[in-house]
Chain A
């Protein structure tokens, strides 16, 4: 397993370097300094900034410096948009708030969706199944933004304004060190988590139902039933175990996005996470942050892909890592 992982890692090094090269090139197509300094910047200011940002160096040297920084986890370059803060500091500050939403949301939405998928498959073709599928399709058809706007209005504002109950925060977040878990977490994060779960349930339920339905036709299901296992046992023990590969695949695909957070949720609920940091950096043309963010995301994506393959082998003895 270790040999396989290391080999896959080495195979992916050129891919990763290629991604960095592409991103660095793409970010320099339009002069990032002009975009950042604005229309009143003088030639002198331009040059001073170019020198400070290291963009006066040849491209290959900039590339080498950036790659070295990524390899050594050195993100000490100063953020353009938030002078005085390094890129690393900005990303480090933002990861916690993002994870405080995305991890609970992933766990909850996966658990609920798998159960609903199973139930739906169990009652396949019956009224309950049709109702659940209808709800899932309806959920998928509504924009994420609508959930957020309505969720914020009815979940946070209405109880506060009309019932004098400050159940959820409309906007805001307290640092982890100050959070009075789990109460303050619930105050700031539970509503965004619930919205996130509701949104993803539509997609996840449909997917997991399809997986479960496919499994119901397998030979081992008939064998288990022939041996006298009850239908719930067949569904929730035998079938669930065999459906782990697609579940792992779906969860693994989501893992890199735990770090990136959710732009919409974070900007609406005032959670200073990675999504908000990224969109703010993009809007402000904060070139070093966007560059570093892309590198981190690409690395995570590659790592989770490898992790997924390893997990396949762990849960399914038929798969061998070669």
Chain B
């Protein structure tokens, strides 16, 4: 084998035209027995695998196959529904939702690692859970997501303050110090007390940032812990060298993974899709996952088409190649090759925000509202969608993304003023005191440089120009954009928000008065009535009553025109016939363990 390849290599170097006869496949023969899933990611790689330091979707995507939180989403069920992962059962909810009681699943062990005695991973216990969460409070860990638990768990904020102050003085952050709301019952049971009932808190228990890590590994690897993960997940990073930033990451199946099976519970349509055939199989199914990191779209696409990777999220520029333009259905050529597709909407809120405290654009008087609505009515989101996203995004009214409670029917809010409606825009402009745009100073618009933002700004300027509104764009680097918004200096700005969990509360919090800049309420939207409704809805269980409140809040902000929008991205997934059991989701990413590969299917195709 080697000599054949060597001769081929020499021939190749000596005489390039001969290369059509050569083949340099790199998989060794012993490895061909393994079931290897080949997953591409559109990134130069994750930044850190430490759950508390992770921030990007790619950190989550890689890390959640190594680490596990207490809960997970059911793989085949929509809408997203939680189920126990490291727990024996769903947490018991007591005291009207203020107290959660947990029981850990028996037999969950950490990966084998030199940080444990004899290198054998020990069993997970209640102390590990609280230790992992307390790491979020330690500022020296540079946690990215403290906001997830801030002002939520009884005594946790005080603990954080005290321990960080102590750490500043003598460098000691005491992880053994008690937190009032964290109570250990025994090695497998523990209780959590919240300041008040927050139904959405349960979603946070499924988030990667709250995954469980062993103290031994954190203490042994110190600053390198983010590159040397030790979790309970279905896959493990055997060697640090298995992760090459900018290139790839190789995860091997965890031989000691706690007993878990491919789910029986499914949606009716899953049977025809063949997603139920693996029901009852022990997880994980594949032996190895090879994750490739791709910065550019062409190599990712070519690798998919040559069968070197098993699935792909179709890059925007390849949508017309793979899908029929009008119907957005997969082209016959692809279907013949056994390629399959799925459309997955994202919980996105892409918008242009207004600073409600700005002298020109801010305020709640009818004239000010009319001015903002005029701008909104002049904007054409569909044109933007067609020009920059091949028309695959979803344009909607309000701040609640598709598929969540409170999303307006058909994406259209009552009394919608969505553009392009130039007649309405001109009328509103006149009501605002600027007939035909006369007397209106240029609108200062802040957005970040990069991508196609320059072109998007030009389109926006042209659209507003139709009603004689002049745009004064500021294309700045991201830090300047943040500073301008945080300091309330940006009258109009472009941002986007991806929901952290599938509940509209996450988006409605963006308009809650106390969250004003530099908090997440970048619009500095303040209405007492809205704040009261938010405080009421925040502690309510999902119900028609809560949905009605969500809708009322949505319409309140929409009619005040605190932002122009909105749009949600859609991902188009394609997968080769080799890949089995694939039901792509963007709500969670721990689905590698359910996937299977069939090399016979690849050869047939």
Q: Mark out the residues of chain B between 49 and 84 whose CB falls within 8 Å of any chain A CB in the assembled complex.
A: 50, 53, 55
- Contact A166-B241, Cβ < 8 Å, known A31-B479, A171-B303: no
A66 within 8 A of B: no
B107 within 8 A of A: no
Interchain Cβ contacts under 8 Å between A and B, 11 examples: A52-B140, A84-B227, A84-B228, A149-B298, A159-B20, A167-B20, A172-B292, A173-B247, A187-B24, A270-B246, A276-B246
B483 / chain A contacts, CB cutoff of 8 Å: 31, 34
A78 / chain B contacts, CB cutoff of 8 Å: 223
Stretch at the interface among B5-13, B204-212, B276-284: B5-13
B55 / chain A contacts, CB cutoff of 8 Å: 38
Stretch at the interface among A7-15, A136-144, A176-184: A176-184
Q: Mark out the residues of chain A between 12 and 45 whose CB falls within 8 Å of any chain B CB in the assembled complex.
A: 30-32, 34-36, 38-40, 42-45
Q: Mark out the residues of chain B between 137 and 185 whose CB falls within 8 Å of any chain A CB in the assembled complex.
A: 139-140, 142-143, 146-147, 164
Cα of A174 to Cα of B44 in the assembled complex, Å: 16
Out of B226, B296, B485, which one reaches A268, CB within 8 Å?
A: B296
Binary CB contact string for chain B from 473 to 486 against chain A (1 if under 8 A, 0 otherwise): 00001111111011
B306 / chain A contacts, CB cutoff of 8 Å: 157, 160-161, 170
Inter-subunit contact B224/A277 (CB<8 Å): no
B19 within 8 A of A: yes
B485 / chain A contacts, CB cutoff of 8 Å: 39
Out of A49, A156, A182, A187, which one reaches B142, CB within 8 Å?
A: A49
B442 within 8 A of A: no
Nearest Cβ distance between residue B575 and chain A, in whole angstroms?
17
- Contact A166-B24, Cβ < 8 Å, known A40-B147, A42-B146, A84-B225: yes
Q: Which of A157, A169, A186, A267 has the most CB of B within 10 A?
A: A186
Inter-subunit contact A172/B247 (CB<8 Å): yes
Inter-subunit contact A175/B302 (CB<8 Å): no
Inter-subunit contact B139/A44 (CB<8 Å): yes
Inter-subunit contact B12/A163 (CB<8 Å): no
- Contact A152-B294, Cβ < 8 Å, known A52-B142, A186-B9: no
B439 within 8 A of A: no
Nearest Cβ distance between residue B92 and chain A, in whole angstroms?
32
B245 within 8 A of A: yes
A269 within 8 A of B: yes
List residues of B whose CB falls within 8 A of some A CB.
Answer: 2, 5-6, 8-10, 12-13, 16, 19-26, 44, 47-48, 50, 53, 55, 139-140, 142-143, 146-147, 164, 223-228, 241, 244-248, 292-296, 298-300, 302-303, 305-306, 308, 477-483, 485-486, 495, 518, 520, 522
Out of B44, B53, B147, which one reaches A83, CB within 8 Å?
A: B53
Nearest Cβ distance between residue B57 and chain A, in whole angstroms?
13
List the A residue with the shortest CB-CB distance to B8.
A183
Q: Mark out the residues of chain A between 161 and 217 whose CB falls within 8 Å of any chain B CB in the assembled complex.
A: 161, 163, 165-175, 180, 182-184, 186-187, 190, 194
Nearest Cβ distance between residue A105 and chain B, in whole angstroms?
14
Inter-subunit contact B296/A48 (CB<8 Å): no
A256 within 8 A of B: no
- Contact A267-B296, Cβ < 8 Å, known A156-B302, A170-B308, A180-B2: yes
List the A residue with the shortest CB-CB distance to B290.
A172
Inter-subunit contact A167/B22 (CB<8 Å): yes
- Contact A175-B241, Cβ < 8 Å, known A38-B482, A167-B22, A183-B5: yes
A236 within 8 A of B: no
Inter-subunit contact B53/A276 (CB<8 Å): no
Out of B24, B53, B143, B299, which one reaches A167, CB within 8 Å?
A: B24
Inter-subunit contact B299/A171 (CB<8 Å): yes
Inter-subunit contact A272/B480 (CB<8 Å): no
Out of A83, A163, A175, which one reaches B223, CB within 8 Å?
A: A83
B294 / chain A contacts, CB cutoff of 8 Å: 171, 270
Out of B24, B223, B495, which one reaches A186, CB within 8 Å?
A: B24
B140 / chain A contacts, CB cutoff of 8 Å: 48, 52
Inter-subunit contact A272/B244 (CB<8 Å): yes
Q: Mark out the residues of chain A between 263 and 300 whose CB falls within 8 Å of any chain B CB in the assembled complex.
A: 267-272, 276-277, 280, 284-285
Nearest Cβ distance between residue B317 and chain A, in whole angstroms?
12
Q: Mark out the residues of chain A between 69 and 124 whose CB falls within 8 Å of any chain B CB in the assembled complex.
A: 78, 81-85, 90, 93
A59 within 8 A of B: no
Cα of A190 to Cα of B479 in the assembled complex, Å: 40
Count A interface residues, CB 8 Å.
Answer: 63
Inter-subunit contact B295/A276 (CB<8 Å): yes
A220 within 8 A of B: no
B50 / chain A contacts, CB cutoff of 8 Å: 83
Cα of A168 to Cα of B248 in the assembled complex, Å: 18
Q: Besides the contacts A153-B298, A171-B302, A190-B13, what 17 more A-B pairs have beta carbons closer than 8 Å? A: A34-B479, A39-B522, A40-B520, A52-B140, A84-B228, A161-B305, A165-B20, A167-B20, A175-B244, A180-B2, A183-B5, A186-B12, A190-B12, A269-B299, A270-B292, A271-B247, A272-B246
B248 / chain A contacts, CB cutoff of 8 Å: 172
Cα of A295 to Cα of B482 in the assembled complex, Å: 29
B478 / chain A contacts, CB cutoff of 8 Å: 35, 38-39, 285
List the B residue with the shortest CB-CB distance to A281.
B44
A90 / chain B contacts, CB cutoff of 8 Å: 245
B23 / chain A contacts, CB cutoff of 8 Å: 165-167
Cα of A45 to Cα of B12 in the assembled complex, Å: 55
Inter-subunit contact B24/A277 (CB<8 Å): no
Cα of A38 to Cα of B47 in the assembled complex, Å: 14
List the A residue with the shortest CB-CB distance to B24.
A187
Cα of A32 to Cα of B522 in the assembled complex, Å: 21
A170 / chain B contacts, CB cutoff of 8 Å: 299, 302-303, 306, 308
Inter-subunit contact A84/B226 (CB<8 Å): yes
Cα of A31 to Cα of B245 in the assembled complex, Å: 26
Nearest Cβ distance between residue A198 and chain B, in whole angstroms?
11
Out of B13, B143, B518, which one reaches A182, CB within 8 Å?
A: B13
Across chains A and B, which 4 residue pairs bring their CB atoms closest together, nearest first? A35-B479, A187-B24, A34-B479, A84-B227
Cα of A194 to Cα of B481 in the assembled complex, Å: 42
Nearest Cβ distance between residue B17 and chain A, in whole angstroms?
12
A157 / chain B contacts, CB cutoff of 8 Å: 302, 305-306
Cα of A28 to Cα of B224 in the assembled complex, Å: 27
Cα of A186 to Cα of B600 in the assembled complex, Å: 29
Cα of A174 to Cα of B486 in the assembled complex, Å: 45
Nearest Cβ distance between residue A9 and chain B, in whole angstroms?
34
A84 / chain B contacts, CB cutoff of 8 Å: 48, 223-228
Nearest Cβ distance between residue B373 and chain A, in whole angstroms?
26
B48 / chain A contacts, CB cutoff of 8 Å: 82-84
List the B residue with the shortest CB-CB distance to A90.
B245
Out of A45, A187, A280, which one reaches B26, CB within 8 Å?
A: A187
List the B residue with the shortest CB-CB distance to A86.
B223
Cα of A43 to Cα of B146 in the assembled complex, Å: 12
Cα of A166 to Cα of B486 in the assembled complex, Å: 52
